[in-house]
Amino acid sequence: MAVVPTVVHASSALLPYLDMAGLAVFAASGALAAAGMRKTLVTFMFFAALTGVGGGTVRDLLIGAPVFWMHDSTFIAICLVTALAVWCTPQRIWPVQALEWFDCIGLGAYGVFGTAKALSFGVAPLPAAIMGVVSACMGGIFRDLLAGVPSIVLRPELYITAAAVAAGGYVGLIWLGVPVAIASLLAFGAGVVLRGAAIRWQLSLPAYRG
């Protein structure tokens, strides 16, 4: 009889920092989307908040966890302060692809943290990795829907794949017995490097040809 591998989750002081970092950069990407549309400060804050907490909210609802930002105002405060900071900054100083690069960092951070949180709630490894992908991708999807632009997950370059590398890499490394902090950094780095390479060189998987 085959033995199904299990992952015993352990916590690390690094994981909350990944959570905060992912939240802040996703919020920044949402605010930059509003900046590109010349919106008001209130709209900046709405875009930032929805992008920042959107993926984590869907994750928490699916794994049966208390929705994180409903119990700690720090998370929404980070989104609002980030939106205000972007609002106070001239758009000309931002690189042309700033939104994509902020989104890239958030993708790696939330791919890892979302997976770790799912594991901590007793979710099996494969669904936990999927929750990491959901955490990483849904905020950007909500942002693009709100902005009325083609969803980032439909663009040809690698996106969901990078989130899957971060999430799956974390699960695999933990299963192999790698310490949580090291596994987190390695999986985060792998996701960011892959997504960054996709942005820089327009890397993509082969498309269906019928």
How far is CA 187 from each of CA 10, 103, 120, 154, rounded to the nearest angstrom? Answer: 15, 16, 17, 23
Residue 12 has pLDDT above 80, yes or no: no
**Residues with Cβ within 8 Å of residue 173, at least 6 apart in sequence:** 182, 183, 186, 187
DSSP designation for 207: P
CB count within 10 Å of CB 26 equals 34
Q: What sign has the CA pseudo-torsion 40, 29, 141, 120?
A: negative
pLDDT for 176 equals 96
Q: Where are the domains of the chain?
A: 14-201
Question: Is residue 11 scored above 80 in pLDDT?
Answer: no
**80-134 pLDDT tens trace:** 999 999 999 998 888 889 999 999 999 999 999 999 999 999 999 999 999 999 9
User: Using alpha carbons only, what angle is made at residue 26 by residues 106 and 84, rounded to the nearest 5 degrees?
Assistant: 145
> Cα separation of 188 and 165, whole Å?
9
- What torsion do the CA atoms of 109, 163, 27, 36 make, to the nearest 10 degrees? 140
Residues in the chain: 210
Residues contacting residue 193 through CB under 8 Å, at least 6 positions apart: none
